[in-house]
A and B are shown apart, each in its own frame.
Chain A
Amino acid sequence: METQSLEKIVREHPFFEGMREEHIAVLTGCAKNVRFEVGEFLLKEGEDARVLYLLRAGKVGIEAHVPGKGAMQVGRVGEGDVLGWSWLVQPYRWHFDARAVEVTRALELDGTCLREKFEKDHELGYEVLKRFVAVIAQRLEWTHMQVLDVYRNG
């Protein structure tokens, strides 16, 4: 019963939209439901990157700690978004902090579990990576625009 509903949640998350059923089943095997209270960290810079979050509700700030300024938010993700890809990239450590701005519910997928599955089933790995590349490309584009600092005065 529990697995049934988890599989439904995985299938219905926008990030996995249109995935084949057998892939959904494999991904569900690596997934669990999690919840974060306001202010709770989802990721912390420098720590081992072990998970991938598919956000279902709430808002999460992507932060960097700037000495003298404290935590600076440089990005924001929320419902329907995906958070965290450092588990895919060696040495598997988080590069930024992520902290719940609102009560946040998410699917947590075990990165090690996923990597193992991807190694065994390249088709699954490719399918998920394609989706990641689209997300990364979009975030990179937004970041480029932020770097332009277009509202700067003068």
Chain B
Amino acid sequence: MAAPTPFVPKQQVIIQPAHFGAIIDSLREDGFQVIGPTLRDGAIVYDEIEGEKDLPIGWTDVQEAGKYRLVPRGDKAWFGYNVGPQSWKRFLHSPLQRLWAAKRNGQDMEITPEHASSSKRAFVGVRSCDLHAIGVLDRVLLDGSVTDPHYAARRKNLFIIAVNCAQAGGTCFCASMNTGPKVTAAVDLRVTEFPSDTDHHFVVEAGSEAGAQMIESIPRSPADKVHHRAIDDLMEQVAGQMGRTMDTTGVKDLLYANREHPRWQQTAERCLGCANCTMVCPTCFCTTVEDVTDLTGTEAQRTRRWDSCFTMPFSYIVGGSVRPGISARYRHWLTHKLGSWWDQFGSSGCVGCGRCITWCPVGIDLTEEVRAIRETSAVSPPKAV
């Protein structure tokens, strides 16, 4: 992983649940649109929240391949779940983005670019895997020779409250991908929640001036070594709980050497080509464009929307699709995610969030796919050093 800017705590405090909600209120008063976890349609999704009342307090998610269920936790934990079907991608790299509008005037046409909106927004409850995913998107859409102005604008004025995961989910494998569970990338606030009937509290660490200023106004007590030790112990415990693991040793070369592996065909027999995995993936960035005109033929516009390498039109060139077979499409996706992403952007495209496993309707599990290919590789599998 290309190293993100590390988190350096400027201030570490204890905040009680009774006061934690004031952070959200305060952000809203400062003009931030606050986006955080909330219950909807039987899942924990990210959406605009008005205050702590919108949070999924007391709920957790049980995840397995092809399975996601919400269950009550039996306590009052605010962040006692893992990740839902959505990622923060939708708020930075919009699923539907108008790019420009065109007007025809006789022989001429005039094109007006869509203004890139950059309102102040706060993300509440960002997990380490998703923070790494934002870093991955940054490398794709900001760090190349060309910058996507819409992503750049949304990426500006962003206040991030990250949460250390206090439990690992059934499909989590961030520990294998070195992307969690502990938040190590720079954020404004890093929160570790210790739910308890008697001593429920949050350890809140400020990583920026804005973050430090934010907790200035909240009732708090200082955190000490005991708390830091508690965080370290918790993180170690969570890292050991991962529902999935993946041996990433030489995985790029492994996949490159196994483009003709029979496993692709076997998996294709199960894969529906539904594109769910790409839609829930926090780093899948592919888009297509749509050009539409009005009925009079004088006004046109172009929009960009999320696309998926699992669709047939994705690879269409005159004559047909380059990847008509599902096996080729699955191979393309997995090889890109874990392999060619390194060649393109200097990091893995997978952050181990497990969403693609959970939300696959037939439960295809990329950790299992990599394992199967490694065990029956056409070339001797790279050994861990």
Contacts and interface: CB of A to CB of B under 8 A. Distances in A.
Counting contact residues on chain A (CB < 8 A from B), the size range is under 10
A90 interface: no
Nearest to A153: B318
A154 B319 CA distance: 4
A153 to B, nearest CB: 7
Counting contact residues on chain B (CB < 8 A from A), the size range is under 10
A154 B316 CA distance: 11
Contacts of A154: 318-319
A153 B318 CA distance: 8
A152 B320 CA distance: 12
Name A's interface SS: loop
A72 B241 CA distance: 73
Contacts of B319: 152, 154
Contacts of A152: 319
Nearest to A150: B319
Interface string B301-343: 0000000000000000011000000000000000000000000
A153 B319 CA distance: 8
Interface in B30-88: none
A152 B318 CA distance: 10
Nearest to B319: A154
A154 B317 CA distance: 9
Contacts of B318: 153-154
A147 to B, nearest CB: 16
Interface in A114-154: 152-154
B324 to A, nearest CB: 16
Nearest to B318: A154
Interface in A49-92: none
Nearest to B320: A154
Interface in A83-115: none
4 contacts: A152-B319, A153-B318, A154-B318, A154-B319
Kindly list the 4 A-B residue pairs having the minimum CB-CB distance in the complex, ordered from nearest. Answer: A154-B318, A154-B319, A153-B318, A152-B319
